[in-house]
């Protein structure tokens, strides 16, 4: 898989399109014609209205933390059907974060460029905007689920439910990477204990 | 050194059991990482492509309630 050179990560936020007017804080009357001579940065003083702590919590809950991408080229698989049947519910549960669904054509084109992932779709990729703001894409910047690797509808549904729960419960996480790695380690340890205790194989990952 | 052949068998069986345990744990770990994992530098190219699609307007937040 091609690696991006360090420091050449993707843009952290969508770039403003050329010609798109930027939001600016204007001083003075709106009827005043714009002055172009004085280009020095001016200190804009205005009363800052600080949100109350409760409002801060509300803000944090509604500001998107993740961008969710669904790539599905349409294999006739259990995972594909489970995703289609449950998408509405996921959409409702993840209202705060935008979901981008690649069309079948876009997904196929995407997979043509990433052939090592063929057969793993549907893929759900989650970009952590907070991590991308910090370090771009050169380090941890999200997580992904290869739903297509799960063969039965029950496995796919369970994985989808776990994934959605994970998204919901970690929206406010400060160090998401550490929490994911801890969870993965815990899963590994749980698997080891199960083997030792001769329990039945876990539903997910088998 | 073990003196009886049964000791050798016991050691061999223990080694096999331990080997199987290590193998099984590793297999499950790999399987889990195949299904669910973090995005890091290895995935930077794919991430950049998706973010570019959003930035260019090629991808818009999905507004529908069901997948087509």
b or e along A61-80 (b: 16 or more beta carbons within 10 Å of the residue's beta carbon)? eeeebbbbbbbbbeeebbbb
Beta bridge partners of A145: A124, B36
For B3-29, the pLDDT digits (tens) are 788 888 999 999 999 998 888 888 887
B42: chain A residues, CB-CB within 8 Å: 1, 3
Task: Please give the pLDDT value at position B57.
Answer: 86
Task: Among B21, B36, B53, B58, pick the best mutation site for testing chain A contact (most A Cβ within 10 A).
Answer: B36
Alpha helices in chain A (DSSP H): 53-62, 78-93, 104-113, 129-135, 153-169, 176-197
For A71-98, the pLDDT digits (tens) are 998 888 999 999 989 988 888 888 888 9
For A153-189, the pLDDT digits (tens) are 988 898 888 888 888 888 887 777 777 777 777 766 6
Report the pLDDT averaged over residues A146-159. 89
User: CB of A142 within 8 Å of any CB in chain B?
Assistant: yes
Report the pLDDT averaged over residues B34-44. 82
What distance in Å separates residue A57's CA from the closest CA in chain B? 24
Q: pTM of the full predicted structure?
A: 0.66
Give the CA distances from residue B45 to residues A64, A135, B41, in Å, rounded to whole numbers and listed in that order.
23, 15, 8
Residue among A67, A177, A191 minimizing CB distance to B25: A191
């Amino acid at each position: 898989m091609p690696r991006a050179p360090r420091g050449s990560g993707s843009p952290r936020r969508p770039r403003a399109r050329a010609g798109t007017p930027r939001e600016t804080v204007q001083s003075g009357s709106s009827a005043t014609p714009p002055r172009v001579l004085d280009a020095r940065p001016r200190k804009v003083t205005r009363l800052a209205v600080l949100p109350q702590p409760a409002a801060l919590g509300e803000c944090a809950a509604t500001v998107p933390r993740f961008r969710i991408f669904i790539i599905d080229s349409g294999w006739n698989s259990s995972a594909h059907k489970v995703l289609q049947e449950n998408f509405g519910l996921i959409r409702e549960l993840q209202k705060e974060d935008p979901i981008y669904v690649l069309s079948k054509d876009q997904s196929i084109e995407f997979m043509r460029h990433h052939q090592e992932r063929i057969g793993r779709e549907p893929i759900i990729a989650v970009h952590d905007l907070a991590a991308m703001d910090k370090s771009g894409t050169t380090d941890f910047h999200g997580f992904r689920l290869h739903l297509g690797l799960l063969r039965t509808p029950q496995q796919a549904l369970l994985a989808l439910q776990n994934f959605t729960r994970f998204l919901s419960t970690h929206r406010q996480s400060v160090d998401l990477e550490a929490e994911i790695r801890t969870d993965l380690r815990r899963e590994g340890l749980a698997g080891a204990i199960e083997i030792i205790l001769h329990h039945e194989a876990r539903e997910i990952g088998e | 050194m073990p003196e009886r052949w049964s000791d050798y068998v016991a050691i061999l069986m223990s080694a096999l059991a331990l080997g199987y345990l290590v193998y099984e744990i590793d297999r499950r770990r790999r399987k889990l990482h195949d299904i669910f994992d973090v995005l890091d530098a290895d995935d930077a190219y794919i991430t950049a492509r998706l973010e570019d699609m959003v930035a260019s307007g090629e991808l818009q937040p999905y507004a529908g309630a069901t997948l087509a």
